[in-house]
């Protein structure tokens, strides 16, 4: 009679291990796998540009799923580039990422907030492009940055900028 409890225990363990796979690695064809650039479209919307040094601006970025259902689990990776210099933009302090599932046609957005720096100032990053990656995906897309220099927190390699959590749009 010990065979039944051992079989149930083994089956339970197998199911628990299977449940641990959240689809972010090795499950590209599964429903709920990480959203990937190339299978979603990315657009930078009309920005609220910081008009002068010290002012804050916001750049909205929208993601629309063009393929099978996928998941955004974490923050977008954002990197500002100026020639040979690049600087990663951190997540907004205190923000909590939520796990969003996107069906085909669904979209979500996040915002890049920044403080405009002084042109020619050594502590500002004269950004010319922004590179974006999605959580769980190593593929990146670059877009022009036309919103002026970004102020640094003590230097150009530490931008005074942040990335908000994804927000799902729609119903």
pLDDT digits (tens, 9 = 90+) for 81-118: 998 889 999 999 999 999 999 999 999 999 999 999 99
- Record the tokens describing residue 139, joined without a space: 């593929």
Are the beta carbons of 114 and 24 closer than 8 angstroms? no
Domains of the chain with CATH codes: 30-168 (2.60.40)
pLDDT in tens, 63-74: 999 999 999 999
The secondary structure of residue 91, as a DSSP letter, is B
SS3 of residue 147 by DSSP: coil
Q: In the 8-state DSSP scheme, what is residue 154?
A: S
17: left (phi over 0), alpha (psi -120 to 50) or beta: alpha
Identify the DSSP state of 5: H
- Please calculate the CA angle 73-159-151 and round it to the nearest 5 degrees: 140
Give the pTM.
0.79
Cβ contact 99:72 at 8 Å? yes
């Amino acid at each position: 009679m010990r065979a039944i409890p051992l079989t149930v225990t083994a089956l339970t363990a197998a199911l628990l291990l299977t449940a641990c796979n959240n689809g972010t690695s090795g499950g590209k064809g599964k429903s709920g796998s990480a959203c990937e650039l190339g299978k979603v479209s990315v657009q930078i919307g009309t920005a609220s540009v910081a008009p002068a040094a010290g002012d804050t601006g916001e750049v909205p970025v929208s993601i629309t799923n063009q393929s099978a259902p996928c998941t955004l689990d974490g923050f977008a990776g954002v990197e500002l580039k100026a020639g040979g210099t690049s600087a990663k933009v951190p997540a907004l302090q205190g923000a909590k990422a939520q796990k969003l599932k996107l069906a085909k046609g669904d979209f979500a957005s996040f915002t890049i907030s920044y403080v405009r720096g002084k042109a020619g100032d050594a502590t500002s990053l004269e950004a010319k492009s922004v590179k974006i990656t999605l959580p769980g995906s190593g593929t990146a897309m670059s877009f022009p940055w036309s919103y002026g220099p970004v102020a640094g927190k003590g230097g150009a390699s530490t931008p005074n900028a942040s990335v908000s959590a994804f927000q799902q749009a729609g119903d």
